Amino acid sequence: MAVAHANVDAIVHLTEDAAKTASAKLRALHRPGKVHIIGNGLDIDFFSPEREGSHAILEGDIVRLGMVARLQPSKDHLTLIDAFDRLCSDRPSLDARLEIAGDGATLPAIEAEIESRGLQSRVTLHGTLGAEGVRDLLRSLDIYVHASLGETMSNSIMQAMAVGLPVIAGAVSGVTNMVTPDVGILYPSRDVHALQSAIAGLLDNPEQARSLGAASRAQAVRLYDARTTARAYEDLADQLFRAKAGM
């Protein structure tokens, strides 16, 4: 990063948090005049709520929660499974499912946790899904839960928001700037009781869940459209070319 700041014309960070972290690490080597913030984008037409016969949040007989992420130590799947298990135990009449998509190093630990809790019939591990598989899975959910210990800018949260889901996520760097109170609920990372409470709160207030889902979609359209991201890079490139040409 220090070499880049010394030699390139522009440095792009996905978020203000990432830029601040780099500045703190580089100190005197940091070149703030070269720094630009351009977030990730996605195809908001592809990642969108279903049109005809759309799945209505918390209106079905089965409640579906889900998370899409690599299975790795920086993702807190075990806390999610713990919270889900406690939720089901506290509400014996609740017919709930937990859908987990992704693959990685922590798969054996996750499988062992599911088995030890006897959740094989309630928790499905989908493995790695393609774009259509991720979209279709998200469309089937009622609530998207992202249990994480830290992010840069979560593509999965963007996708869930674009599909129109209420989001519950750990209050960590790279998430707090995305999940605001009007689109979702933040809980202290690793706090299983807080996560369980957040999920239960939305189950008890379906209208709030639907309102958050609608706001999520609106925010994704406003902030995460890949066409907006592309224009930002085009504008930056134009600015750099003009500077080189002395215009």
Distance CA 105, CA 190 (A): 19
Distance CA 109, CA 39 (A): 33
| DSSP β-bridge partners for residue 148 | 75
| DSSP β-bridge partners for residue 99 | 66, 124
Residue scoring higher pLDDT (246 or 99): 99
C-alpha distances (whole Å) from 166 to each of 8, 160, 171 are 40, 8, 15
Are the C-beta atoms of 106 and 71 separated by less than 8 Å?
yes
Alpha helices by DSSP H, listed for 58-154, are 77-90, 107-116, 131-139
Residue scoring higher pLDDT (51 or 135): 135
What tens digit of pLDDT does each residue of 191-227 get?
A: 999 999 999 999 999 999 999 999 999 999 999 999 9
Q: Provide the pLDDT for residue 55.
A: 64
On the 0-12 / 13-18 / 19+ scale of CB atoms within 10 A, 124 is middle
The mean per-residue pLDDT over the stretch 174-180 comes to 92
The mean per-residue pLDDT over the stretch 93-98 comes to 97
Find the range with the poorest average confidence among 51-60, 135-144, 171-180, 237-246: 51-60
Are the C-beta atoms of 171 and 188 separated by less than 8 Å?
yes
C-alpha distances (whole Å) from 206 to each of 67, 124, 142, 209 are 19, 24, 10, 5
For 48, phi then psi, to 5°, come to -145, 160
What tens digit of pLDDT does each residue of 108-157 get?
A: 999 999 999 999 999 999 999 999 999 999 999 999 999 999 998 899 99
The mean per-residue pLDDT over the stretch 96-119 comes to 98
Q: Is the pLDDT of residue 159 over 60?
A: yes
Residue 7, both tokens: 């030699």
| DSSP β-bridge partners for residue 168 | 145, 185
What tens digit of pLDDT does each residue of 25-34 get?
A: 988 888 888 8
DSSP 113-179: HHHHTT-TTTEEEEES--HHHHHHHHHT-SEEEE-BS--SS-HHHHHHHHHT--EEEE--TTTTTT-
Residue 111, both tokens: 């499988």
